[in-house]
Amino acid sequence: MRADRLVAVLLLMQARGRVTAAELAAELEVSVATARRDLEALSAAGIPVYPQPGRGGGWSLVGGARTDLSGLSAAEAQALFLLVGPAAAVSGEAKAALRKLVRALPHTFRADAEAAADATLIDPSRWGERDRERPPMVDLLQTAVIRRRKVRLTYAGRAREPGERLVDPWGVVGKDDVWYLLAGTERGRRTFRVDRIAEAEPTGLPAERPDDFVLAAAWDEVVGEVELRRSRTWATVLVEARFVPVLRDQFGRHCHTGGDAGDGRARVRLGAPTPLDIARHLAGWGAMIEVVEPPSVRAELARIGAELLGRHTGGD
């Protein structure tokens, strides 16, 4: 079920006290079967909604119609916002519904719900790495973010021995099935890949977090820094226009079309950390791609070609 539709269902039930699947279907512009599945999924997830059979029946929140969602426990409110928070990062409607739902919660649950909604971000764009399973440690880190407790990490950076550090967890981000922890350290904000965290031990120490911290904005800065490192070299190439989508899939956001070259080919700009990285990606294209510039990429392609020629000619 879409997370923003889940919020809409709860808001409707709060406002009306009791709804039928047909009424929900009409309001949300979905089929009756879909509305019924949504209601059943809410109930199965532990949200306090229940059906009343017979004439005048329908689905209700435990406690009937109220001005707040006091049927939700603190844990249930956190679980709901952990589910909706990532969707709100990419859906304006979900973001608006999330704000309304925060105001509808009892005051005692509101702070934790707001923290949960901002504890996790899903960035749907890819960096080209293969899919990975969500590490179990993500749940532990999310809880530390919500409760604002410091975490002691044993972390192994790239080509470094594992080291221990005490951090203030600020948010967890999932990107292309890779998870990251944004945290405050003695040296300022740092980003940790969760799959490189060997151990994470929550502490009872309160974590500090800047009052103006916004997870989505901080992650945008991280992505910008990474993308800058990943596109230090740019090459201009000519390729048949029908192959541009293949290059775009290969280079992702580091592929920019530059218009028609005038001979049936398209002019494309490609970015990568080094000339060798670009050349390696293009070597398999053979004569289907012409590198216009820079000379460094052309030189790397020529070197790769000479190596292949030397390795695969002669012999029996």
pLDDT tens-digit profile of 150-182?
Answer: 999 999 876 667 789 999 999 998 887 788 999
CB 16 within 8 A of CB 25: no
What are the residue boundaries of the structural domains of the chain, listed by start?
3-117, 123-228, 231-312
- Cβ atoms within 10 Å of 222's Cβ, excluding its own: 17
CB 64 within 8 A of CB 77: no
pLDDT tens-digit profile of 102-144?
Answer: 666 555 556 665 666 566 565 655 565 555 566 788 889 988 9
pLDDT tens-digit profile of 189-217?
Answer: 999 999 899 999 999 899 999 988 888 88
Q: Whole-angstrom Cα distance, residue 85 to residue 133?
A: 20
Q: What is the CA radius of gyration of the chain?
A: 26
- Cβ atoms within 10 Å of 23's Cβ, excluding its own: 16
What confidence tier does 63 reach under pLDDT thresholds 50, 70, 90?
Answer: low
The pLDDT of 52-81, averaged and rounded, is 60
Of residues 25 and 45, more confidence is placed in 25
Is there a cis peptide before residue 135, judged by omega within 30 degrees of 0?
no
Q: Whole-angstrom Cα distance, residue 204 to residue 187?
A: 22
In this predicted structure, what is the pLDDT of residue 1? 44
The CATH architecture one would assign to domain 3-117 is: Orthogonal Bundle (1.10)
Q: Which residue has the tokens 């509101």?
A: 110
Tokens of 162: 């594992």
Query: Which of these, 141, 147, 84, lies nearest to 117 by C-alpha position?
Result: 84
Q: Provide the whole-model pTM.
A: 0.49
Q: Is the pLDDT of residue 263 over 90?
A: no
In this predicted structure, what is the pLDDT of residue 85? 56
CATH of domain 123-228: 2.30.30
What Å distances lie between residue 31 and 138, 171, 213, 214, CA to CA? 35, 36, 40, 37
Q: Whole-angstrom Cα distance, residue 73 to residue 105?
A: 10
**Identical fold between 3-117 and 123-228:** no
Instruction: Write out the DSSP string of the chain.
Output: --HHHHHHHHHHHHHHSEE-HHHHHHHHTS-HHHHHHHHHHHHHTT-SEEEE-STT-EEEETTSS-SS-TTS-HHHHHHHHHHHHHHHTT-HHHHHHHHHHHHHS-HHHHHHHHHHHTTEEEE-S--SPPP-PPPTHHHHHHHHHHHTEEEEEEE--TTS--EEEEEEEEEEEEETTEEEEEEEETTEEEEEEGGGEEEEEEEEEEPP--TT--HHHHHHHHHHHHHHHHTSEEEEEEEEGGGHHHHHHHHGGGEEEEEE-SSSEEEEEEEESSHHHHHHHHHTTGGG-EEEE-HHHHHHHHHHHHHHHHHHSS--
CATH of domain 231-312: 3.30.70
